[in-house]
Amino acid sequence: MFRPLFFTALFVPVAAYGAPIQTDAKQAVIIDHATGIVLFEKEARAPMPPASMTKIMTVQMVLEAIERVDLTYETKLLVSDDAWRRGGAASGSSTMFLDPRSEVRVEDLLRGLIIQSGNDAAITFAEALSGSESAFADAMTRRAHEMGLDSATFRNATGWPNDEHEISALDLAKLTRKQIEDFPAAYAIYSEPDFTWNGTKQGNRNPLLGVFPGADGVKTGATSVAGYGLVASAVRDDERRIIVFNGTDGKSQRSRVAKELMSAAFNEFDVLSLYRSGDRLEDIPVYMGKAKTVGLVLREDVNIGYQRSDRNAVKARIDFTPAPAPVVEGSKIAELVVVKGDVEVARYPLYASDTVARKGLFGRVGASLLQKIRG
C-alpha cells in the first residue's frame, strides 16, 4: 500500500529569543497587552500568595456588578463592625480608615480599595455583594475559573495570608489585561497619585507612577509570606506591557525590580505579526486528487514575541503529508509550527483552501502505477 512520505517546509527565521533576562524576584512575567504573548517568565505559572494584588480581582468583581447594574457608583454601602475590626484603623493593616456603621459611596470605596489598598473597603464590598467575605471569595474563585484563570483559589477579598489563597503571576497578568480591556474608564483610578478619606491622605504605593514614563497602574502587595510584589502596566509608543512579580525583600528591592522589568519589557522585547487570520501560506500536494495541490489557510493570527538580542533563534515551518483526496474545504490538513532552537513554542492548524475531488477509477490506477514505477 502507498504510504506518503512526511514533508517539512522550513521557513526563513522570523523571530528570536536571546539569553534570559535576570531578576531577583521569585516569580515574574512580562506580557504584551495587545496580543497576550508572554515575553518573559520565571516561575510564572506556579500558584503563589498574591497578598494585596488580590484586590485586582476584588475590583473586577465590583466593576462587573456595576456593569450588571447590581451597584452604581453612587450606591452607598454599609461598613459593618466586622469590616472595621478586621480591615479598619483598629486592624493595623492597610486601611481606608472607614468608620464602623457608616455608609460610603461605591466610587469612594473603589478609590480606597485601589489607591489606599483598604482592607476595610474590600470586606465592605464582599459583604455587600455576597453577604459574607467567605462567600465572596468563593464567587471570586468561580469567576476567575470562568475567565480561564485556573491557578486561582481565593479565600478572602483582601489578600490576607491563607495557605490556600493563591494565583499565578501569569494569571494575574491575564486578569489585569482583561480589566484594562473591559473597564478602561475605571482603570484610570489606578493611576491617581493619592486619595484622602476621613481626613487621612494616602499616596498610591505603585513605585512606577510618576517615575517610569507611561506607567499608569496597577497594584502592589506585601506580606511576610509573599514578600513584596507588584502588578504594573505602562504604555510607550502605543504599545502596552504588563509586568507581574513577587517575592522581593522589601520596598527598595521591589522598586528596583519594577524599573528593571518594565525597562526590559520595552527595551529588550518586540512582537512580530507573522501572519493574519485568513492568510494563504502555500500549496501542498494532493494524493489521488483531481487537482495536484491545495492551499493552506490560517484561521487565527500568528504573533511572535522575541528578544532583540538574538534574531535567529525562532523559526516557523509547515508540517504536512500529501493530503489524500477527497479534500474538503476547511478541513485541517497541516500545521504551522513555531520553534525556538530545538524547542517547540506553538502549533497552529492549517486548513484546506478549496475542495479537491478524488480522481476517477482510471486516474487512481494510473497514479498508483506511476507511484510504483517511481518507487
**Residues in the annotated binding site for substrate:** 219
In the set 42, 55, 174, 315, the catalytic residue is: 55
Catalytic: 55? yes
> Which segments are annotated as binding site?
219
In the set 80, 93, 94, 117, the catalytic residue is: 117
Cα separation, 146 vs 160, whole angstroms: 23
**What is 317-363 written as a DSSP string?**
EEEE-PEESSB-TT-EEEEEEEEETTEEEEEEEEEESS-BPBP-HHH
Which secondary-structure segment (H or E) carries 264? Answer: helix 251-267
Q: The C-alpha cell of 294 is what?
A: 491545495
Q: The C-alpha cell of 140 is what?
A: 471570586
3-state secondary structure of 119: helix
**Phi-psi bin for 49: left (phi > 0), alpha (psi -120 to 50), beta?**
beta
Contact 233, 33 (CB under 8 A): yes
Q: What are the CA-CA distances from residue 214 to residues 161, 165, 263 (Å)? A: 32, 32, 11
In the set 42, 52, 94, 174, the catalytic residue is: 52
Cα separation, 323 vs 319, whole angstroms: 12
Residues marked active site are found at 52, 55, 117
